[in-house]
Each structure stands twice: as C-alpha cells, then as structure tokens.
Amino acid sequence: MTSTFQNILNEQDFETTLYNAGMFFVDYSRDYGQMSKVCRELGFQKSDLTDCAYQERIHPDDLVSYLGLWVRFNRGYDDELYCEYRLRDLRGEWNWVLTHATALGRYKDGRISKIIGFDRIINSRKKTEELLLRQLDEAKRKNEIADAVMSAGRLMIHDVPLSENLYEGMEKLRGIVRYDYCALVVDENYRENTIFSPPGDRVQIPDLSSLIHQIRESGYPLIDETGDGGSLMAFPLTVDGAYLGAIVLISGKRGFFDGSDLYPVQSFARIFAIAIQNHHSMKTIIRELERDQLTGFLTRRSFDLAVRKSRKELGGEQKEGMAFCMLDIDHFKRVNDRFGHQTGDLVISQLACICQRALRDQDLLGRYGGEEFIIVLRNAGLANAEAIMNRIRVSIENCVIPEISGGVTVSIGISFYITGDTIETVIERADKALYRGKRAGRNRVVAES
C-alpha cells in the first residue's frame, strides 16, 4: 500500500487530486504536507500541519480528547484516527470538523512517518444533533415533571391534613425546579394561611403581601428580582378562574428563574389548586351534613358528637356545670296549618337567629326535631342558665313576624349534667321539665326539680 501511494506522490497533479478530494497528506520524514480544502478555507498554512499552530486553534473543551486520540494513533495503538472537534477560523468563529486519517508509514519505534486522510465541515450535522439532544433533554424533563406531578397528585388524595399534602407536593416540586425557599399561600375565606418549605424558614422570606395582591389581581405568573439581590417566581392558584392562593419560589441568586420554569410550576400549581378546591368542597359538604340547612344549628347526630367532645374537654366539676336546655315552639302546628310550612320555616329561622345572638361561641345549639331546639350552656349555674333562657324566651315573645301578623312563644326545660349521666338521660330530664312548662301554661322556663 505504501509503494502505491509513493507512486502517486511522484505524480505532478497529486496536490490537486488531494485538494479536490478534500484530503490531506503529511510526510513527516520529508517535512512535507498537503493540507485539505477544509483547512485552507479555515485559514491554515502548510507549515501549521507540522507544528503546534493547528492544535492551538482547537477548542479548549475538545483539545484533551483530540490529543488523547492522536497519541494513541501516533504510537501505533490505533490504525486510524477518527475525531470530531471544533476549529477556530481566521474570523474567530468555531467550526465543527470531522477528521478521519490512516497511517501510510511508521518509523521503527512505531511513530507515524506518513499519514493521509480527509477533513469535513460538519456544522449542520452537529447543530441537528444539538437540537435533537435538547429535544431529548426537554422530553426527559417533561417526563420527570409528569412523574413528579402524578406523584404529587397521588399525595393529594391521602387522608392527611391539607397542609401536610401541600408541603409534600412542594418538596416534589423542589426536585424539578430548584429553590431556596418556597411559600404556598392559601386564601381561605380571605384569610391567608402560608405553608413554608423548608419549614420554619418564614424569616428568610420577604413580605409577600403586595406580591400576592398583584398576582391575585392580574391572574398571571410573575418572575422578578427581590430587594436583596435574589430572584423569585410567583404563580397564582386558580380553578375555573377562581383565585385560591399563590405559590412563590425564591432563590438567593439574581436571574435564577426563567421562562423554562413556568411549565413545571404551572403543572404543580394546578395540582395544588385542585387539592385546595377539593378540600374546601369537602369542608362545605361536611358542614352541610353537620348543620341544619334552615337554622345553621348542629344536626342531632352532630350535636351528640359535639357534646361528647365537650364533655371530654371539661373536668369533673365543669361537667356538672353543663346546662341542657330543651326549647319548643308553642302551638307550632297551628302556624303550619294556618300559614303553611314555608311560613313555619321562616318562623323557625327567625327564632334560630334570636338564639344565636343570645349565646356565647362556646355554647352548643342543635335542632333536635321539627320545632324543637336543644342548647348546651357550658359552665353555667342554675340561676345563670335560667336568666339566659328567659332572655331568649322574652326576645322571641317580643319578636313580631309580619308573615303571621304577630309572634310566637316558646317553652324551655333545663337540666344539668350529673356524674353517671349519659347524654340521653340528661336530655330526657330536660324534656320532662319542658313538658311541665307546657302543662303549666306554656311560654315559660322550667328547671328540673
């Protein structure tokens, strides 16, 4: 093979042939070289092929790998050199070059004496590869985001407090979009509650009130800088246009967040918003199940549970200070028969409002039957309980209800919890006291004897 190329070297048009073919040839024994068309276009001289000028124009990031391949090739470990690297042209621009070379001769020590090969500019191919790699990275990132969002979504259906679910979701988000601190502001009935990640780092987060107001008003995400040289990204939590809160990511580095972070944060924001909405909906459903829709009082079952809970919270002496008051509207059947059930409901609603205004937050109110209410006064003695019930009775008697051209009266029975009582026994005694009042002429308060 060497003799064949040696014969070619004797041809006068050898250089032209190599140039047109895009090939190069170097004979180190004669310090002779013919560079490729690519090298000439990049501004190299023939002398550059046998000194260090060629290597000096290789991109620093590619030089180590190039030299490693060249050393193996020059020492005889490899028969061919195949390398892709960047070369700087005379304008200072980088060009991707593919070099493929073969040794035509070697010295006795194995080093190359003659080499032939070709160079190709592969900018277009490398740009395509870079584009495909970016698309692959984006696909991987989207897959990671999807996995994290699905994982966060599964968290939201766990039977644990909402705040714990949201915190776990924020930690999942940290694996996708790095942040130093994160605040998730939940706007519940216009009272803002904030969950922090990492927990306890409230002092590290600037005042968010104006930012949250801006997010709520605009409904759009925001990427901005903080006053201490950091950066933040805020995203509203909405469902069907309804604002439920906001998530704010904070970094100590300026310009840390960019548009590429919006997609994953938006995906998590949607999960958080749905979780908050579901939580609110569930609380509404539970509230509706616990409360009588007409009066807002506890239903009978909910009232029993609330009394049991209250008894556990109170000590022995305090339990015996619990007054159970049964209230019944006098001659209520006449109201329904004469004015109709809708008017009867209106009367019950009016009386419920009077009771609520007269009682404390710690007292319990329940609707026990059609026109029968039950009230539990905590820490109330006999005189105090009778005074409160008489105020309610008088207020109801003096209340004019236009729909019935007058008013109604109520009878009330009072009993007190004693050691050994069950809810049923103490209510039974209050009910007996009530009916003693009915038999005595109605519109009165009667305590158990």
According to DSSP, residue 51 is labeled: S
Query: In the sheet that 191-197 helps form, which strands lie side by side, from edge to edge?
Result: 191-197, 181-188, 242-251, 231-239, 222-225
Tokens coding 388: 């409160």
Measure the CA–CA gap between 335 and 124, rounded to whole angstroms.
91
Active site residues: 371
Measure the CA–CA gap between 356 and 304, rounded to whole angstroms.
19
Domains identified in the chain and CATH numbers: 2-121 (3.30.450.20), 132-288 (3.30.450.40), 300-447 (3.30.70.270)
Q: Exposed/middle/buried for 265, CB within 10 Å: 0-12, 13-18, 19+?
A: buried
Measure the CA–CA gap between 48 and 54, rounded to whole angstroms.
5
Can you say whether the dihedral through the CA atoms of 37, 41, 46, 47 is positive or negative? negative
CB 42 within 8 A of CB 89: yes
Q: pLDDT truncated to tens, each residue of the chain (449 aa)?
A: 445 554 555 555 666 777 777 888 888 888 777 888 888 888 888 777 656 778 889 999 999 999 999 999 999 888 899 999 999 998 899 999 999 999 999 999 989 999 999 999 999 988 888 877 777 777 666 667 666 666 666 655 655 677 777 888 888 888 888 888 888 888 754 345 677 777 655 545 667 778 888 888 888 888 888 877 788 888 898 888 888 888 888 888 888 988 888 888 888 888 888 888 877 777 776 666 677 888 888 888 888 888 888 777 765 445 557 899 999 999 999 999 999 999 999 999 999 999 999 988 888 998 887 889 999 998 888 888 999 999 999 999 999 888 888 889 999 999 998 888 888 899 999 999 999 999 999 999 999 97
